[in-house]
Amino acid sequence: MYDFLTDPKRFAPLLPEFQGLTVHDASNFTVQVKVGIAHIRGTAEVKMHLAESDSPRHALYSGMGGMAGGNVNMTAAFDLDEVGEGTKVRWNGEAQIFGRLASMAGGILEPLGRKNIQKLVDALQSALTEGETARSGS
């Protein structure tokens, strides 16, 4: 599971509104995703860095990006704990959005962000479950 979650070629296409990926090296990549609220729409380009890596339990990504009407600074981390026959994943993240997009969107950004995070977690869970089923031969 750790290998999946630290391989942008495997997890990035699961991001909501995924548009593209450029892998620079083992710790750095740039992902493009469609963003938009009201009449501010475009593609965000976010440069991500694997800032912490403690295989097979923990990783933390930090990122900075730009989009139409704003900029974003973010972190995303996970911790893996073996639980019985499965693995518990604890997610932690934060995003700060600056610029016209943040001022125009008002209170809509947080619920929209939560919705997209849930979509990502659901897609990751599905992909990981399918991978486990394929490995076990079920």
What CATH architecture applies to the domain 2-136? 2-Layer Sandwich (3.30)
The helices-and-strands tally (H runs, E runs) of the chain is 4, 6
- The whole-number pLDDT of residue 138 equals 45
The string of pLDDT tens digits covering residues 18-54 is: 999 999 999 999 999 887 666 667 788 999 999 999 9
DSSP-based three-state secondary structure for 57: coil
Q: Is the pTM of this model over 0.95?
A: no
| 99 φ/ψ angles, rounded to the nearest 5 degrees | 105, -165
Indicate whether 137 pLDDT > 60.
Answer: no
The string of pLDDT tens digits covering residues 49-108 is: 999 999 999 999 999 998 777 788 889 999 999 998 888 889 888 888 777 766 666 666
- The whole-number pLDDT of residue 40 equals 66
Give the pairing type, strands 70-83 and 58-67.
Answer: antiparallel
Q: How many C-alpha atoms does 14 have within 13 Å on its Cβ side?
A: 19
Q: What are the boundaries of each domain within the chain? A: 2-136
